[in-house]
Structure 1
């Protein structure tokens, strides 16, 4: 994997951490997730209007990804209702790299070398270490199942979009349609929260939509990288967003233990190095 592709994926991970920090600081996370989805829809609609359609065979993947993203937002919202973000997030993201690597091997025929799997393992350990104190306190069964469901959804749409973008013939068009179809998530959340929406402060609207713009940019970078690197490796590097989120929490939100977070960062850096030199 070239340094350029690694830099693209790590930039996406950092952006992903930023929008998750926005959700974390929100009072009503369900409404904020709806606003994040809206932040995809607005630029997506503009891009869809001016860009050509992607190849028709890829549109099935856009549709399937939209359905899975709907499940992802639902699972994530429910997980946050039953458990703290500091517990839910590392469980959900921690299982993704291994699952994507497995799905890619079964359905796409991408077999990662042992060194890359060791890198995935180090990143997974780093994810858990970054939130070890919260995880030690325990997690309720309901929150655990929703967190695991969230991770499974992430792994499925990661595979679907990885295949779809390669078939699309135009990464920008595929990205635009995927963003625009977050419309269904927005409609669902806004319908559920229709009584509360009029009282939502403009600052929350602005932060939520800004988070969506950041999220969209992050995923666009990941889609671009999937054209040039194995899906399991891309997913593993993207999950370093957890340590970026942990560092944001430590520096700006005054959370956590810096020694534990530094240790997690070292593990993840080792994982990135192993993956980067293996594929």
Structure 2
């Protein structure tokens, strides 16, 4: 995994932490997620004429993943209402790699080696320990974060299967992301069209977050053509190390020695995955 593919997944991890920090840093996360989704959907639609059609076998996965991503967006917004980036992001991301590995074993007959399994466990354990060190994770916040993690695992397994059947990773990604245009419809149904108004700087910032999100997860979808889903997922979740640093540098969140130890555990897991 520590080939050029692994390097790109680590880049995706940094990008993923960046757009999550951008979302968390905004007061109205539902509005921010909606504007991010508009950008993602519009860019994806604009790319479709220049891409081949995915193979027929990929379409059930494209539709299913697109809908699960909408559920994920809503779960993420709800989770961020219940805690800071260092709690909700960590629980959500930490709970997903082992679920992805289990789903991949059940539905894609993937069986990672002993070192990869150890790496997945280390990454997940290190991530969860980061969140639990604070000792103030509410039951409501933890539940919302775990639901978010479950949606991450579901769409990751779906996309891992779908991209391998699609014949073209970019085409698969663009069609799946086109479903993000359902987010503004959902927002309008819940709040009304007038609530979609936002100052231009806010729209620009969220549009930038949407572009970063496309790049981050597009790399992951591409990588799942070449690596086991659980391993790719766990390596991507090293994004929590970047998130911890971003939270410390820009969101005034604490980064203690114990949290640094947990980050080292996550790094050890990444090394096992790449061995």
Normalising by structure 2, what TM-score? 0.94
SS in 2 for 1:229: coil
Distance 1:251 1:143, change over 3 A: closer
**Cα offset for 1:121?**
1.6
Distance 2:129 2:84 in 1: 16
Is the contact between residue 104 and residue 159 of structure 1 (CA under 8 Å) also seen in structure 2?
yes
The match for 1:196 is 195
SS in 2 for 1:53: coil
- Cα displacement string for residues 204-235 of structure 1 (whole angstroms, at most 9, x for unaligned residues): 11111110100010011001110100001000
- Cα displacement string for residues 104-146 of structure 1 (whole angstroms, at most 9, x for unaligned residues): 1111110112211211121112213433443x11313x33322
The match for 1:155 is 153
The match for 1:177 is 175
**Cα offset for 1:257?**
2.3
The match for 1:144 is 142
SS in 2 for 1:95: helix
Query: Gaps (5+ residues) in structure 1?
Result: none
**Cα offset for 1:150?**
1.0
| 1:94-113 correspondence runs (5 A) | 94-113=94-113
The match for 2:221 is 223
**Cα offset for 1:190?**
3.9
SS in 2 for 1:246: helix
The match for 2:234 is 236
The match for 1:25 is 25
Distance 1:155 1:83, change over 3 A: same
Pair 1:70 & 2:54 matched: no
Is the contact between residue 24 and residue 85 of structure 2 (CA under 8 Å) also seen in structure 1?
yes
- Cα displacement string for residues 14-39 of structure 1 (whole angstroms, at most 9, x for unaligned residues): 00000001011101011111112112
Count of residues in correspondence between the two structures: 274
Distance 1:30 1:11, change over 3 A: same
- Cα displacement string for residues 139-184 of structure 1 (whole angstroms, at most 9, x for unaligned residues): 13x3332221111111010000001000000111101111111111
**Cα offset for 1:258?**
4.3
The match for 2:91 is 91
Is the contact between residue 225 and residue 234 of structure 1 (CA under 8 Å) also seen in structure 2?
yes
SS in 2 for 1:26: coil
Distance 1:254 1:81, change over 3 A: closer
SS in 1 for 2:194: coil
SS in 2 for 1:181: helix
Distance 1:133 1:106 in 2: 32
Distance 1:206 1:104 in 2: 37
Distance 1:175 1:156 in 2: 16
Is the contact between residue 31 and residue 190 of structure 1 (CA under 8 Å) also seen in structure 2?
no
Distance 1:215 1:97 in 2: 19
Distance 1:171 1:3 in 2: 19
Distance 1:21 1:78 in 2: 15
Distance 2:164 2:122 in 1: 28
